[in-house]
Amino acid sequence: MYPEYMVAPIREDLTSSGFEQLMSAEEVEQAIKTEGTVLLAVNSVCGCAASKARPALKMAVSASDKKPSKLVTVFAGMEQDAVAKAREHMLPYPPSSPSIALFKDGELVHMIERYHIEGNDLHRIVDNLKGAFEAYC
């Protein structure tokens, strides 16, 4: 686990853009199992989260006509139960952070793993998310 003072500004990068920080397994379960679409970001302290994942999330949400009903995030290396529950819902994909999952009516419909983030251009990630929003939201 990281010191909270290090993580707080990284959390705020998404929460100030409308993402709800989920802190427990129960909150994750409740968020994912709601009707509609839920965009879940597994946030991280790594460089690809800072340079690509979080900017892509914010850009895609702000630039899309169709948007997920709910925006939520968990933080890898911090709230272990919340992250573990989120990753259960992302199976069969292996754990990775950062990662981004889109759920529709409680079912995983789109997944972006770390290797899709760190090995890709920011605008391709944004386009990937916008395409998923268009298809499922």
- Residues annotated as catalytic are 46, 48
- Whole-angstrom distance, CA of residue 94 vs CA of residue 51: 22
- Whole-angstrom distance, CA of residue 85 vs CA of residue 29: 7
Give residue 25's identity as a one-letter amino acid code: A
Is cis: bond before 98, omega within 30 of 0? yes
CB neighbour burial string for 73-101, b if at least 16 within 10 angstroms, e if fewer? bbbbebbeebbebbbebbeeeeebbbbbb
